[in-house]
Structure 1
């Protein structure tokens, strides 16, 4: 097979700019076991996470655990901004799951309250990262995070996008 016939593989954003892609990402064969060339990302890179949740699932957990659930998962500001509406809590829960996916961690090593979904004056959701979530975003070189939530009676869906701007390439050496 000619080089131009080889598939081009892209990878999720799981490392700092300029660092090699971790071999574990591709399984036992590592990078060498891939069926095609691996495209090295350049310029602006994005880390995307999406989550969907049934509002009823959050309602049942809230009814069973009440304040304990709220204090474990949400900040005081998040609870205040939701004004007791379970669909809004579900939306924020989905955002936190989406952020974890964008950070590439899942819920390992990142606590619920380290991701704070705040509603701006305009009504648009924004996110503040604290603790390990902030450290992971900094490690990846994420310079911005954008989130969006859609709340319906039965489901909430959220997307989180982290932006990594690669540093400019080294200047060419002066000509001799």
Structure 2
């Protein structure tokens, strides 16, 4: 058993046929990895999680009010949160989690490009706009789901993006040439 090389998977969902940047693995690049990377197969997922203290959001909301709401939340989100700090914190955490699942962090997309709205059942739903939508398309993400838990002092959210289309572009091109 010890003479077999271990499998090394990468958590980075990416568009098929596009290499992972070498710099991502540190100074030695892919050459410094303990085992070769395995190509993803089947359904791939991109996951992000975030937790935030409700008091942090409450303090920012109290200090900046409408300016904070307009910078971070869409009109629909503001209506559904009804100025309740725990609900705002939950949406905030969900947006952070979505940005992590997109692999950009909050620097690659704008707050309002990630919209978390409740369905009639109360279940949160994700709508992506602008650069967030473009990034999801670049990754081949075909669905997003989010779950939020609001407590008195903390809000936590997890976001999961699904990539079900993993056929490499090169393969499609070769098939077309026949």
| TM-score normalised over the length of structure 1 | 0.91
Once the two structures are overlaid, the 10-residue window that deviates more, 22-31 or 80-89, is: 22-31
Structure 2 partner of 1:102: 101
Residue 109 (structure 1) shift: 2.2
Structure 2 portions without partners, runs of 5+ = none
Distance 1:65 1:168 in 2: 47
Distance 2:61 2:151 in 1: 18
Counterpart contact for 2:94–2:158, Cα < 8 Å = yes
Structure 1 portions without partners, runs of 5+ = none
Structure 1 partner of 2:23: 24
Counterpart contact for 1:13–1:45, Cα < 8 Å = no
Structure 1 partner of 2:81: 82
Distance 2:65 2:117 in 1: 21
Distance 1:109 1:168 in 2: 26
Distance 2:167 2:102 in 1: 23
Question: Counterparts of 1:91-170 in structure 2 under 5 Å?
Answer: 91-168=90-167
Q: Deviations over 1:77-130 (max 9, x none)?
A: 000001121100000000000001000001112000000001001100001000
Question: Counterparts of 1:29-48 in structure 2 under 5 Å?
Answer: 29-48=28-47
Residue 14 (structure 1) shift: 4.3
Aligned length: 170
Distance 1:162 1:124 in 2: 16
Residue 61, structure 1, aligned to residue 60, structure 2 = yes
| TM-score normalised over the length of structure 2 | 0.90
Name the SS of the counterpart of 2:80 in structure 1. helix
